[in-house]
Amino acid sequence: MRASGLVVEYNPFHNGHRFHLEKTCEIDKESVKIAVMSGDFVQRGEPAVVNRWKRAEMALKNGIDIAAELPIFYSCQSAEIFAIGAVGILNELKCNNIIFGSETSNINALKEIAEIEENAEFKNKIKEYLSNGESYPTAHSRALKELKGNDITFASNDILGLEYIKAIKYWNSSMEPLLIKREKTGYYGENIDEGFASATAIRKFLKENKDITDLVPEESFKILKEENKNNRLVYLENFYPLLRYEIIRNKDILSDIQDMEKGYENRLYEMAVKNYDFRKFYEEIVSKRFTHGRTQRVLIHILTGITQELTQRVKKEVPYIKILGFTDKGREYLNYLKKEENNKIITSMKNIKDKFSDDVRELVEFNERASLIYKMVNFYEDSKIPLMIKGK
């Protein structure tokens, strides 16, 4: 059996994601479509607008065959670690290829630049620019320009694509990277183009209670409508009381948090003490050096307890693979995989005590605690077994 891997957040699943899936089917029609999807917290450093189970349901009802969760210790990280986790899971699931959207749609150019980024000179240039106070995206762009000798501008999907290519090498995987040209709106764009809008724009429209009927497939709209009706749409500011408590309570160990920079923990503490309002707090901690994405990731790391030590630990090996749901075709593929020795797949929390070591169970429980924190703000009903959806 063949499998195609997709790295997704579906926050929420929209028309652009459906387009991506349709193109994926054109590239490899017969393959099982496996999505590794961020759980309740996503790469940009935010809680997902709706919970992991509802987003998995959207995915399965729109053409995905297997939805596997990307745990919090991978999902809410820099592009490098996010990609290492996602590609590692797809590799464990024996995917033949990974298919992702790209603004440039030039796989050879991405492969060439991925090689440059492994170069010691490039890494030293990055460190030099960072030490001069540049943000990482700016440092990256300047270092690449200096070594390539011309202006190269990459958008968000291209940057993630570079990391996927490097992660394939990192895990010594035989997966083939394949591109789909990203059309219409940009990753962070807030415009609407012929029924297409970014997830960023759609989340904004949801927050403002604007109509998104034409921007998402029918199955997604029904789920979002129901979640909105039940007050289950979640945003970062909803977590500020919990976050403020964690910053103040853990002042002396904030320096151990992943992505924390020396001295920044003091500013976070001072601003948390000073500000009762999230917007005022946030305005005073974001900066040129600490971009929105990096700032938000640090906040989620504090909220959930992701440390530098934990991050280094999960880079060594993918500890487990939790399946959120599958179709009939997906179930057939999972049964095929279960014949393999040393299988890491979790379809029920009941079997983890006998199946995994204490170290792995600790990581499973860490991810589940992160979801409990999510549920403190917006309770949802957990599923004890994977969702089972009839495939289209």
Instruction: Point out the domain boundary residue: 263, 286, 312.
Output: 312
Q: What is the pLDDT of residue 152?
A: 61
Same domain, 244 and 383: no
Q: What is the pLDDT of residue 341?
A: 63
Name the domain count of the chain: 2
Same domain, 242 and 352: no
Decide if 304 is inside a domain: yes
Q: Which of 93-97, 182-186, 266-270, 381-385 has the lowest mean pLDDT?
A: 182-186
Residue 188 phi, psi (nearest 5): -105, 5
pLDDT tens-place string over residues 236-293? 999 999 999 999 999 999 999 999 999 999 999 999 999 999 999 999 999 877 889 9
Same domain, 86 and 28: yes
Same domain, 290 and 203: no
> How far apart are alpha carbons 82 and 92 in whole angstroms?
16
Q: What is the pLDDT of residue 191?
A: 59
Same domain, 333 and 377: yes
> How far apart are alpha carbons 240 and 373 in whole angstroms?
12
Domain range for 341: 3-104+178-234+317-389
Same domain, 247 and 380: no
Greater confidence (374 vs 114) lies with: 374
Binning pLDDT at 50, 70 and 90, where does residue 5 land?
Answer: very high
pTM: 0.92
Q: What is the pLDDT of residue 153?
A: 63
Annotated binding site: 7-20, 101, 157, 182
Decide if 90 is inside a domain: yes
* DSSP per position, 26-85: HHSTTSEEEEEEE-SEETTTEE-SS-HHHHHHHHHHTT-SEEEEE-HHHHTS-HHHHHHH
Same domain, 298 and 248: yes
Decide if 137 is inside a domain: no
Decide if 161 is inside a domain: no
Same domain, 217 and 258: no
Instruction: Point out the domain boundary residue: 312, 333, 349.
Output: 312
> How far apart are alpha carbons 361 and 234 in whole angstroms?
28
Decide if 170 is inside a domain: no
**Percent of the chain clearing pLDDT 70 (strictly above):** 94
Same domain, 338 and 373: yes
> How far apart are alpha carbons 206 and 193 in whole angstroms?
18
Same domain, 331 and 383: yes
Output the average pLDDT for the chain: 91
pLDDT tens-place string over residues 38-86? 999 999 999 999 999 999 999 999 999 999 999 999 999 999 999 999 9
Statement: residue 134 has pLDDT above 70: yes
Same domain, 381 and 251: no
Annotated binding site for ATP: 7-20, 101, 157, 182
Instruction: Point out the domain boundary residue: 285, 312, 339.
Output: 312
Decide if 272 is inside a domain: yes
Decide if 56 is inside a domain: yes
Q: What is the pLDDT of residue 150?
A: 60
Q: What is the pLDDT of residue 187?
A: 47
Statement: residue 321 has pLDDT above 90: yes
Same domain, 227 and 321: yes
Averaged pLDDT for residues 131-150: 77
Report the interhelical angle of 107-117 vs 156-170 (nearest 10°): 70
Decide if 127 is inside a domain: no
Record the tokens describing residue 186, joined without a space: 């940009």
